[in-house]
Amino acid sequence: MGGVIPIAASVATIPFLLTHIGHARFGVMAIVWTIVGYFGVFDFGLSRTMANQISKLRSADEELSVFWTTIWLNFIFGMVGGALLYATTGVIMSHFLKMPDSLQAEALKSLPWIAASVPVCTLSGVCVGALDGKQQFGIANVLQGLGSVLLQVAPMVSAIIIGPELSVIIPATVIGRGLSGAFLAVAAIRALKIQSIRLIEYKQVPVLLGYSSWVAVTGLVGPILETFDRIVLGKLVGAGAVGYYSVPFSIADKLRIFPRAVCRTLFPVLSTQTRGDAKILAARATRVIALAMTAAIAPGIQLVGPLLSIWVGADFAAVATPIAQLLLVGVWANGLANVPYTLLQAQGKPGILARFQVLELVPFVILVYALIHKFGLIGAPLAWAIRAILDSILFFAVAGIGFSNLVRTLPSAILIALSLASGLLLKPTIFQSIVIAAAFSVCSAAWLIYTEPVMAKKAFKRVGLAGGQ
């Protein structure tokens, strides 16, 4: 439910927003939330750290001590982050991004709301971390899914009732984010059986910050690696180009729900296991994610063009389809990378991840600028996909899961590569796309049966039961 509902909301809201607020305004809105995402670093990795700590604790009093210390720290850090965003975003929009003066004025009117979203995000993250630490993943997923719906429905409703200006839809989105945070706070209070407010317990601060310092570095560099291509697009090509990029990215990003959900569930378990047991579990998770992602993405690369045509129109789809296809390849690689990423953090080695991401930051920035300058809009998803593939290879190399486990995904990688090549080079018709997608689905199912017969048997049994009903 936590994953399906946001997808349905995207299907319903994005075509409306593109039609009623325009591609350029949609692109500016995407840039705004990209900037807000950068300021999520003011969480400083504390939400992830708290989940790690609570999963190990057995005392209710210690759990409350960790929770309230994290809440107060994240409130302070979030307020500082919001103030810095308020002071810098106007300069960024005025001097570094291409957008019409009218849209820039609309966005700047909403600056206090944009700044307020930073502490809302940092505090919401604490509540999610508490639920994860208590292994209440179901309620966390549902509430985050409903929150995602609010973030998409709020701007649409406000555009209908009041108007399409950014000064209207951005505050509406922040209010939706606040409501989502309130729901998560209620769930966290119930999970930890909180009865009263407590102040910071300073003995917890060194423990939390000691682990979270490297997670914070990842939190700083990660969003840049994830979204910097959109900022460069806005600067070199214009805000309208960001709209053409953001829509297919929103589709591809939804497919990351599955690997993230698997690894999120694994995180507290891996945190308490021995190194050997954790590696065995991580290797198993790698195979499961590879098979599931291949079954979705190999045919998805073929079908994304026709689906975009139906969803947002043929003209938009003509530009967005190759972008979506490249992003889907990157999402496949990124899905696998979630496993070693989670293992290293759970086993208390977030510094390895942080160092790698810092080292790749400058080369990635150069790559983004070079590819967008050379190829224009299509250069952005190309850079993102290349970075995701290299990340996956490097993370597996340093996590110690075993390079042989990555090699086992080679047939899946070949299917993904063949699907991309046929989609980009052959440019099939809708009927041909459906036939090719069916062929890749058959190949994915055959590979599943061969490599994981027990899993395949259970899957087909469930499908049969569902059909019988």
**pLDDT average, residue stretch 231-247:** 82
Query: What's the confidence (pLDDT) of residue 378?
Result: 93
**pLDDT average, residue stretch 387-414:** 81
| Domain-terminating residue out of 233, 268, 297 | 233
Query: What's the confidence (pLDDT) of residue 462?
Result: 42
Measured between alpha carbons, how far is 15 from 312 in angstroms, rounded to an integer? 5
Q: Which of 82, 108, 76, 110 is nearest to 94 (CA)?
A: 108
Start-to-end Cα distance in the chain: 20
Same domain? For 300 and 210 the reply is no
| Domain count along the chain | 2
Q: Is residue 249 part of a domain?
A: no
Contact 402, 283 (CB under 8 A): yes
By CB atoms closer than 10 A (0-12, 13-18, 19+), residue 378 is: middle
| 57 φ/ψ angles, rounded to the nearest 5 degrees | -85, 150
- Asked if residue 98 has pLDDT above 50, the reply is yes
Same domain? For 71 and 195 the reply is yes
Q: Is residue 243 part of a domain?
A: no
448: tokens are 């599943």
Same domain? For 347 and 427 the reply is yes
Q: Is residue 185 part of a domain?
A: yes
Task: Label residue 467 by pLDDT band (50, 70, 90).
Answer: very low
- Asked if residue 460 has pLDDT above 50, the reply is no
pLDDT tens digit sequence for 100-121: 778 888 888 888 998 999 999 8
pLDDT tens digit sequence for 60-82: 888 888 889 889 988 998 999 89
Same domain? For 228 and 274 the reply is no
Same domain? For 162 and 207 the reply is yes
Query: What's the confidence (pLDDT) of residue 459?
Result: 45
Task: Label residue 91 by pLDDT band (50, 70, 90).
Answer: confident
- Asked if residue 403 has pLDDT above 70, the reply is no
Q: Is residue 389 part of a domain?
A: yes
Query: What's the confidence (pLDDT) of residue 282?
Result: 85
Q: Is residue 346 part of a domain?
A: yes
Measured between alpha carbons, how far is 334 from 340 in angstroms, rounded to an integer? 11
Task: Label residue 431 by pLDDT band (50, 70, 90).
Answer: confident
Element (H, E) at 312: helix 275-312
Concatenating the DSSP letter of every residue in 131-200 gives: HHHTT-HHHHHHHHHHHHHHHHHHHHHHHHHT-S-HHHHHHHHHHHHHHHHHHHHHHHHHHHT--S----
Same domain? For 277 and 372 the reply is yes
Q: To the nearest whole number, what is the mean pLDDT of the chain?
A: 82
Same domain? For 67 and 184 the reply is yes
Same domain? For 298 and 365 the reply is yes
Q: Is residue 79 part of a domain?
A: yes
Q: Is residue 82 part of a domain?
A: yes
Task: Label residue 328 by pLDDT band (50, 70, 90).
Answer: very high
Q: Ramachandran region of residue 348, left (φ > 0), alpha (ψ -120 to 50) or beta?
A: left
Q: Which of 289, 299, 246, 266 is nearest to 408 (CA)?
A: 289
Other beta carbons within 10 angstroms of residue 334's beta carbon come to 26
Task: Label residue 198 by pLDDT band (50, 70, 90).
Answer: confident
| Domain-terminating residue out of 167, 198, 233 | 233
Contact 75, 123 (CB under 8 A): yes
- Asked if residue 1 has pLDDT above 60, the reply is no
Residue with the bigger pLDDT between 222 and 337: it is: 337
Task: Label residue 464 by pLDDT band (50, 70, 90).
Answer: very low
The percent of residues in the chain predicted with pLDDT above 90, rounded, is: 16
**pLDDT average, residue stretch 350-362:** 81
Same domain? For 99 and 200 the reply is yes
Contact 256, 334 (CB under 8 A): yes
Instruction: Quickly count helices (H) and strands (E) in the chain.
Output: 19, 0
Q: Is residue 104 part of a domain?
A: yes
By CB atoms closer than 10 A (0-12, 13-18, 19+), residue 210 is: exposed
Measured between alpha carbons, how far is 13 from 426 in angstroms, rounded to an integer? 31
**pLDDT average, residue stretch 174-202:** 88
Query: What's the confidence (pLDDT) of residue 463?
Result: 37
Task: Label residue 386 by pLDDT band (50, 70, 90).
Answer: very high
Same domain? For 153 and 19 the reply is yes
348: tokens are 């208390």
Same domain? For 119 and 68 the reply is yes
Residue with the bigger pLDDT between 33 and 195: it is: 195
SS3 per residue for 61-103: HHHHHHHHHHHHHHHHHHHHHHHHHHHHHHHHHHHCCCCCHHH
In 3-state terms, the chain is what percent helix, strand and coil (to 5)?
90, 0, 10
Domain range enclosing 343: 255-469
Same domain? For 184 and 283 the reply is no
State how far the alpha carbon of 150 is from the alpha carbons of 8, 145, 157, 179, 417, in Å: 12, 9, 10, 8, 36
